């Protein structure tokens, strides 16, 4: 008697132990055995994936590094350019400041020259010297002697650099004006020198104290009859009274001359010659330079005279003139 079994056993899937592999045939040459190199597909896939990831990562890192390098290069180039610009600007500023220093120092020297000339001229004409405490004003800056304008280094903007250029032009213009002023003062000093030299040489100082007893011009001859032309003035005083040079000059005659007695003649330049006659003694020699007011002789009565007195005469361009026209009035 047979039994039928209605249930069947379930199918059991048996996992295959076979793995996918790639086989590489390697042969070194003819007659050599062939070698097989088997690589797991999974390993190969992993290696390829890792290689792609590494390449992508390397590319990304390389791009980042290159980009950073380029950015840094641009920044460095900009910094170099900015540094060159600042160096050029600084050089221009230094040149400008040095130029301004030199111009200012030259102007200070000219101010000192002008002050010196002004002081000399004022002293020559008898004016009081002005006092300013040793300071000068240059383009709005008060500068003491021994100091220089713009001595300290400063940072200057482009606008200030333009202002310095304008200031430099103004200083040039002022320097030109100061040069003209200095030249005018030099000319004035020369004029004053010439005028003072003329005044010092002009025989206008009374040569001796005393009483004028005879004037210039026609007069009765004191030692004879008739009228004579008196070529000077007679100043009476006692014998031995000092006679002084009426102006700066050079002694052209010192000795005895008939009718005039002991006599001194002085050439003063500018066409003037003074004459001192009837002297008792003579204290100067021919060719000697004498100064205004210097003692040259003493009063006496030598020559053709009626008593102790000084005959004082003045020639201008060879012609006798009235001494009273140029003698300073006695105080």
What does the pLDDT average to over 186-193? 87
What is the per-residue pLDDT for 115? 79
> Considering only CA atoms, which of 237, 301, 249, 239 is closest in space to residue 275?
249
Which residues, 6 or more positions from 116, have their beta carbon under 8 angstroms from its beta carbon? none
What are the CA-CA distances from residue 110 to residues 165, 180, 216 (Å)?
22, 10, 52
What does the pLDDT average to over 212-222? 91
Please tell me which residue, 97 or 261, carries the higher pLDDT value: 261
Q: What band does 139 get if pLDDT is binned at 50, 70 and 90?
A: very low
Q: What is the pTM of this model?
A: 0.57
Give how far the C-alpha of residue 89 lies from the chain's centroid of Cα atoms, to the nearest Å.
26
CATH code of the region 211-325: 2.70.70.10
> Considering only CA atoms, which of 306, 303, 312, 296 is closest in space to residue 241?
296
Secondary structure element (H or E) that encloses residue 265, with its range: strand 261-269
> Considering only CA atoms, which of 279, 262, 270 is closest in space to residue 314?
270
Segment 9-45, tens digit of pLDDT = 555 554 544 556 667 676 676 767 777 767 777 777 8
Domain regions of the chain by residue span: 110-125+136-201, 211-325
The rounded mean pLDDT for the chain is 80
Say how far apart CA 137 and CA 125 lie, in whole Å. Answer: 26
Check whether 145 has a pLDDT greater than 50.
no
Segment 36-82, tens digit of pLDDT = 767 777 777 888 888 888 888 888 888 888 888 888 878 877 777 77
């Amino acid at each position: 008697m047979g039994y039928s079994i209605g249930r069947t056993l379930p199918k059991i899937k048996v996992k295959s132990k076979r793995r996918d592999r790639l086989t590489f045939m390697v042969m070194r040459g003819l007659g050599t055995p062939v070698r097989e190199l088997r690589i797991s597909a999974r390993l190969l896939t992993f290696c390829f994936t890792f290689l792609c990831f590494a390449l992508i990562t390397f590319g990304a890192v390389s791009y980042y590094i290159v980009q950073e390098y380029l950015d840094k290069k641009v920044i460095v180039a900009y910094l170099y350019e900015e540094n060159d610009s600042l160096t050029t600007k600084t050089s221009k500023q230094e040149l400008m400041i040095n130029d301004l220093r030199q111009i200012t120092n030259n102007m200070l020297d000219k101010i000192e020259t002008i002050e010196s000339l002004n002081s000399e001229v004022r002293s020559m004409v008898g004016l009081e010297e002005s006092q300013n405490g040793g300071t000068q004003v240059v383009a709005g800056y008060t500068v003491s002697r021994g100091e220089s304008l713009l001595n300290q280094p400063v940072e200057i903007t482009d606008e200030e650099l333009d202002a310095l250029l304008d200031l430099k032009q103004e200083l040039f213009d002022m320097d030109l004006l100061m040069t003209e002023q200095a030249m005018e003062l030099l000319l004035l000093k020369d004029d004053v020198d010439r005028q003072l030299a003329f005044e010092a040489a002009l025989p206008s100082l009374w040569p001796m104290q005393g009483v004028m007893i005879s004037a210039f011009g026609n007069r009765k001859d004191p030692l004879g009859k008739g009228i004579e032309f008196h070529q000077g003035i007679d100043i009476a005083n006692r014998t031995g009274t000092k006679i002084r040079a009426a102006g700066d000059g050079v002694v052209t005659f010192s000795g005895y001359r008939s009718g005039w007695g002991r006599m001194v003649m002085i050439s003063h330049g500018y066409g003037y010659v003074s004459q001192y006659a009837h002297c008792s003694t003579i204290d100067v020699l021919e060719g000697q330079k004498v100064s205004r007011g210097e003692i040259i002789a003493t009063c006496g009565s030598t020559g053709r005279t009626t008593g102790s007195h000084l005959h004082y005469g003045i020639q201008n361009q060879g012609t006798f003139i009235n001494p009273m026209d140029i003698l300073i009035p006695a105080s």
